[in-house]
Homo-oligomer: A and B are copies of this chain.
Amino acid sequence: MAEIRLFLTQSQGRRRDMTDEILRRYRDSIDNIDAALVFMLAERFKITQAVGEYKATTNLPPADPGREERQIERLRQLAKDAKLDPDFTEKFLRFIIDEVIRHHEQIRDEAS
């Protein structure tokens, strides 16, 4: 009886080790992608910061509704190609653009 119990415990232990290893590999990939996303976002905000400053010096209007529409349409199409939910992708772009607008408002408030 004690031997059977020991066998079961070892078997469960091995299965758990394997489970942990598989899960760990998935998580390593997620962590790599998240790091890439963070550095991509940092680069994106560097550019939108430059755009904001450029628009301010050239007296271009800060918002450009036509541009936003075209961005959304393009990203929805790319999402379909990548088998990603287009609605989520549109929500994602709006999430980023909201942050860009917040930055531009900060620049404006600091300048005034």
Contacts and interface: CB of A to CB of B under 8 A. Distances in A.
Interface of A: 19, 22-23, 26-27, 29-31, 33-45, 47-48, 50-51, 54-55, 58, 60, 67, 71, 74-75, 78-79, 82-84, 88-89, 92-93, 95, 99
A79 B42 CA distance: 8
Majority secondary structure, A binding face: helix
Copies of chain A in the complex: 2
28 contacts: A19-B60, A23-B51, A23-B55, A23-B60, A26-B54, A27-B51, A29-B47, A30-B44, A30-B51, A31-B71, A33-B40, A33-B43, A33-B47, A34-B44, A34-B74, A34-B78, A34-B93, A36-B40, A37-B41, A37-B44, A37-B92, A38-B78, A38-B82, A38-B84, A40-B40, A41-B82, A45-B84, A95-B95
